């Protein structure tokens, strides 16, 4: 008996440490504690109303959500009952089963079950609702990091494309304003040809006039 009591005590101490680590507070009233009921308040609020989630352990073996709706509802696991039969008017029998809660008679077992239930259904699923945002699930963190990384890569590629487009536009604009060396040489060559052509025409005119003058004087 002494060994069993010590083991129960150690389990209860571990539960208290987990509660403190998770920020869970015991908010049981004196009357509830006297009746063997323990009410826990989690540091998580509902998305539909600004109240902290509360769960409770009852001496009857039930564990419940205390303020999630109009009435409290059981968090116990469900199980199928043994098949039952009832007789129909025609003399045949119809088989049916019912679903009922699996009660947890031991208090420490109830508390450990509640911790596991809250971790899975409140902390992980509602991690973004934890007060002050101190708790974020690993899958959500990894998802956001990957999404941001992909967005950064896309933005980087887009910036490089824009820089390339700007460079091409600047090159075209520069060529339009300042002709290349080849274009300058080409334009200068055309001008020289035009001047040479004009000089040849003038020389031809002078020679023609000189020939006409000699003809008349001779």
Q: What is the pLDDT of residues 144-203, one digit of tens each?
A: 677 766 776 777 777 777 777 777 776 766 666 555 555 656 565 666 677 777 777 777
For the chain, the average pLDDT equals 77
20, 25, 36, 206 from 28: Cα distances, Å = 16, 9, 10, 126
**DSSP class of 61:** S
Q: What pLDDT, in 10s, does the model give residues 10-58? A: 888 998 898 898 899 999 999 999 999 999 999 888 777 778 999 999 9
Element (H, E) at 51: none
Q: Per the structure block, which two tokens stand in for 161? A: 């494309």
Measured in whole angstroms, the distance separating CA 157 from the mean position of its chain's CA atoms is 22
Give the per-residue pLDDT at 157. 74
Measured in whole angstroms, the distance separating CA 191 from the mean position of its chain's CA atoms is 69
Distance from C-alpha of 20 to C-alpha of 16, rounded to nearest angstrom = 6
């Amino acid at each position: 008996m002494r060994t069993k009591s010590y083991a129960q005590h150690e389990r209860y101490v571990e539960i208290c440490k987990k509660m403190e680590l998770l920020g869970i507070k015991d908010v049981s009233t004196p009357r509830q504690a006297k009746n063997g009921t323990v009410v826990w308040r989690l540091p998580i609020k509902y998305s539909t109303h600004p109240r902290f989630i509360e769960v409770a352990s009852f001496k009857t073996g039930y564990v419940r959500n205390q303020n999630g709706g109009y009435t409290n509802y059981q968090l116990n696991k469900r199980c199928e009952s043994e098949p039952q039969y009832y007789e129909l008017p025609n003399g045949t029998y119809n088989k049916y089963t019912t679903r009922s809660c699996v009660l947890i008679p031991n208090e420490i077992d109830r508390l450990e079950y509640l911790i596991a239930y809250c971790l899975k259904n409140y902390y992980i699923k509602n991690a973004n609702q934890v007060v002050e945002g101190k708790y974020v699930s690993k899958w959500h963190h990894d998802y956001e990091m990957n999404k941001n990384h992909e967005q950064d890569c896309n933005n980087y590629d887009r910036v490089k494309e824009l820089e390339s487009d700007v460079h091409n536009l600047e090159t075209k604009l520069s060529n339009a304003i300042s002709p290349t060396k080849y274009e300058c040489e080409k334009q200068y060559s055309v001008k020289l040809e035009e001047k040479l052509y004009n000089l040849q025409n003038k020389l031809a005119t002078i020679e023609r006039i000189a020939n006409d003058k000699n003809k008349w004087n001779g």
